Amino acid sequence: MDNQNKKPTRKHGRHLRVPVLPDEEISIKSNAAQAGLSIAEYLRRVGQGHPIQSAIDKEYILQLSKINADMGRLGGLFKLWLTQDRRVAHFDHRMVKALLGRIQTTQEAMFEVVKKL
């Protein structure tokens, strides 16, 4: 293959050396760790103006998506009961109250996660 047609890879690309003070090094390493990125990837994204999303934020988003799925399942059961679907005909009022309690508890869990963001 012709060398002119090959695209450079990061492994064989240019390396930039940037002198930093010790406190700057600590800060950069800490920020990269919080974002869940290597130092090189963190500096590459910051240098190109790409937004950095914290790994903690990603964790909360994952928690919220799981809670949202639970809410969907609980809401689906409640909807079936309200429409008197035969699949949930065996649900009595005590069971429906427990279902509503679980919905409320799940909502509270969702609000707690949102508060942390």
**How does pLDDT run across 48-91, given as a tens digit for each residue?**
998 887 767 777 888 888 888 888 888 888 888 888 888 888 88
pLDDT at 12: 75
The pLDDT value recorded for residue 77 is 86
Rounded CA-CA distance 75/117 in Å is 25
Total domain count, the chain? 2
* pLDDT number for residue 4: 64
pLDDT at 2 over 60: no
- Do 54 and 33 touch, CB atoms closer than 8 A? no
Question: Do 44 and 76 share a domain, yes or no?
Answer: no
Q: Quick check: is 10 in a domain?
A: no
For the packed helices 39-47 and 22-35, what is the interaxial angle rounded to 10 degrees?
Answer: 90
User: What digits encode the pLDDT tens for the residues 6-56?
Assistant: 777 777 778 888 899 999 999 999 999 888 889 999 999 999 998 887 767
31 and 60: one domain? no
pLDDT computed for residue 46 by the predictor: 92
Instruction: Kindly state whether residues 59 and 112 are assigned to the same domain.
Output: yes
pLDDT of residue 11: 75
Domain membership of residue 47 (yes or no) is yes
Per the domain annotation, does 2 fall within a domain?
A: no
Same-domain status, 41 and 90? no
Q: Does 102 share its domain with 81?
A: yes
Q: How many CB atoms lie within 10 A of CB 62?
A: 11
DSSP 8-class letter at 5: T
Mean of the pLDDT values across residues 91-101? 88
Tokens encoding 33: 């760790």
Rg of the chain on CA atoms, in Å: 25
Q: What was the pLDDT predicted at 24?
A: 93
Do 95 and 108 share a domain, yes or no? yes
Q: Is 66 inside a domain boundary?
A: yes
Q: Are residues 44 and 68 in the same domain?
A: no
Q: Which domain holds residue 23?
A: 16-52
Query: Which of 96, 77, 99, 97 has the alpha carbon at shortest distance from 87?
Result: 77
Rounded to two decimals, what is the model's pTM?
0.49
Alpha carbon distances (Å) from 116 to 24, 33, 66: 27, 19, 16
